[in-house]
Structure 1
Amino acid sequence: MPLGSRFRGSTRVSSWKITLPCTKAEAEAVEREESPFAAFENPPVLMSSEPDETKPDEWRLDGYFETAPTPDDIALFRTLAPSAERIEPSIEQLADEDWVTMSQQGLEPIRAGRFFVHTPAHRDAIPADAIALEIDAGRAFGTGQHETTTGCLLAMDRLKEGAISFDNILDLGTGTGLLAFAALKLWPDAKVAASDIDPVSIDVSAENAAINGIPTGTGKGEVELIVAAGMEHPRLAARAPYDLIVANILAGPLIDLAPSVAAALAPGGRLILAGLLNTQAEAVTSAYRRQGLMGSFDIVRGDWTILTMRKRKALGWQ
């Protein structure tokens, strides 16, 4: 199953493919980190996959280029798989392909609690009892395929099962907008903000909001999309305090953001933290405990831990 992709363009083109073996960690890095080709006018589609489930650390990285890759393209692609530095990449020209279809190959729908996250290719497979969200393979992280995104969906689903209600929600580091949309589906009367440091992610989120019929704006039942580097952004500060913050980022930034995130959380508010490996969970938990938060429950998905915490009511906010 491909971990992720970066996609641009939807025309039928004569394309080229570069393939290298890689480790699982390198495949996950392709999903989580910005592509080194991001500044290219026509960046390649990057797809990572696990060819043999009996060999869990032997993965494959494919790069699909619209034109014949140059030596510089090949050298840059090789930086994505340092473990294969002594292996010559496979390079082949492909027949005309539909890039949208190609980018979606192997991206199976994800069922996470009541959520069903799918690409356009699986619109006919939506279960009758599911909350369906369509997120195409694209230029931003958060298609639902990664364990951290799935874990956040499961955490929100569990909070909903506990009859917990939220009125003011923030999806910090939104990527595709998926988690913000999911939150609004669970708590349709809430005000929701979705922020990301990357303007491309906010553009992608706006596109996905339109596809899924998600109202955008600043009122109840709407999602406000904000380009913001941190909690100090005027719009994020003005909307505080939040009674639910979801942050699917990385362990390092989560630790750095602990004081400002905790300060923006309302007394008794809930916090979902993801993007951290199991080995990083203790450090992230400690950072937020020092800010007065208590652990509620954890969800472990493979190598990844999703933390759910609660702010002590006596602390107030700011």
Structure 2
Amino acid sequence: MSGDSWKITAIAPRQDVESALAALGEDERMVLSGREVAEDSADWVLEAWLPSTPDETDLARFAALLPARPDAFRVEQLAEQDWVTLSQQGLDPVETGRFRVRTPDHPATDDPAIHELIIPAAQAFGTGQHATTKGCLAMLDRMEHGGVRPRSMIDVGTGTGLLAFAALRLWPDAMIAASDIDPVCEEVLRENAALNRIPLGSGPGEILAVTAPGMDDPVLTARGPYDLLVANILAGPLVELADDFGHHTAPGGDIVLSGLLTSQQDVVAKAYEQRGFRLMEAAAIGDWAILRLRQCAGHAGS
């Protein structure tokens, strides 16, 4: 989209900016990006890119993302150019484990050992840039390297589809489902699947895209219980969904949780341990935690 594009800018503590990115992600109206003010600075810049003049609703929505609710925003009209391209500037490829995630404007790698995925920005949350997504990619890579071989997997809150795509690269014969409560995400996933030559469907080696809140869909229920469940959402919903996720995870199955701060990991882990899970690994990237838990025998579906 070209023409009348605008940007809203505010400076806030890094944790507040990262929380804002996790809470909103990216959508069709407002695209968020965050960056350091300077190397090792405690303050970050939160930027929102919009295709037209921001109104009071846009400004209120932006302000609500930051706990301090700063009054000093910088609102500026940009020169005529592609606002999506602007929002992607500085988004270097993300490399973690055997994965490399890039936007379409970066060249492909020539390393055959790397699982490369192409995810355009400005679509939905899950471009690989955020610490939670990067941490989940690294966790999945370690799990495969350690001998985990799921036959069925689900990515709840899939966003762009990135984690489901990554799982299919690691386990090409698995039956994989990807769900999100936002119907826009299903369209985005389908576009990204085509871009990455990912087959869609309901069989082994294919990804089934479903619009649903959590696991509340008969198709998702029928495909369970799952050997691997991944949910990169937020701490509150993760705690609320512990019983439901436990019901749909197979005995001995794994669950990977993220979207939570390290200060929240004990609360989240406890909710799942009470449901019969055992904490296998807790990793952190900055202030963000990634948890891997395993369903103990005799608890799934109870």
Band of TM-score, shorter chain? over 0.9
Q: C-alpha offsets along residues 52-87 of structure 1, whole Å, 9 cap, x if unaligned? A: 12322x111223333344455445444444536343
Report if aligned partners of 2:174, 2:204 keep a CA contact under 8 Å in 1.
yes
Q: 1:67 aligns with which of 29, 33, 52?
A: 52
- Aligned equivalents of 1:126 and 1:137: distance in 2? 23
What is the count of residue pairs matched by the alignment? 302
Q: Structure 2 stretches of 5 or more lacking a match?
A: none
- Aligned equivalents of 2:298 and 2:64: distance in 1? 49
TM normalised by structure 2 equals: 0.92
Instruction: Quote the residue 2:36 is aligned against.
Output: 50
Q: C-alpha offsets along residues 241-264 of structure 1, whole Å, 9 cap, x if unaligned? A: 111111111111111111111111
Identity percentage of aligned residues: 45
Q: Structure 1 stretches of 5 or more lacking a match?
A: 1-10
Q: 1:252 aligns with which of 227, 236, 253?
A: 236
CA change 1:316–1:24 in 2 (3 A) is: closer
Q: C-alpha offsets along residues 260-287 of structure 1, whole Å, 9 cap, x if unaligned? A: 1111111111111111111111111111
Alignment RMSD:
2.1
Corresponding position: 1:129 with 2:119: no
Instruction: Quote the residue 2:267 is aligned against.
Output: 283
Other structure's SS at 2:292 match: strand
- Aligned equivalents of 2:52 and 2:80: distance in 1? 12
Other structure's SS at 2:124 match: coil
1:275-314 mapped onto 2 (5 Å cutoff) = 275-314=259-298
Report if aligned partners of 2:178, 2:210 keep a CA contact under 8 Å in 1.
yes
Q: C-alpha offsets along residues 202-241 of structure 1, whole Å, 9 cap, x if unaligned? A: 2111111111111111001000001111223211110011
- Aligned equivalents of 1:198 and 1:242: distance in 2? 22
TM normalised by structure 1 equals: 0.88
Report if aligned partners of 2:51, 2:83 keep a CA contact under 8 Å in 1.
no
Other structure's SS at 1:160 match: helix
- Aligned equivalents of 1:172 and 1:139: distance in 2? 17
1:88-167 mapped onto 2 (5 Å cutoff) = 89-125=73-109, 127-167=111-151
- Aligned equivalents of 2:270 and 2:58: distance in 1? 42
Report if aligned partners of 1:19, 1:90 keep a CA contact under 8 Å in 2.
yes
Q: 1:172 aligns with which of 156, 164, 167?
A: 156
CA change 1:93–1:34 in 2 (3 A) is: closer
Q: C-alpha offsets along residues 77-113 of structure 1, whole Å, 9 cap, x if unaligned? A: 44444536343x3333322212232121111111110
- Aligned equivalents of 2:252 and 2:60: distance in 1? 51
Instruction: Quote the residue 1:4 is aligned against.
Output: none
Report if aligned partners of 2:109, 2:116 keep a CA contact under 8 Å in 1.
no
Which letter does structure 1 place at the counterpart of 2:118?
Answer: E
Q: C-alpha offsets along residues 4-58 of structure 1, whole Å, 9 cap, x if unaligned? A: xxxxxxx3214333322222233123312237x96xxx724332221212322x1
Instruction: Quote the residue 1:6 is aligned against.
Output: none
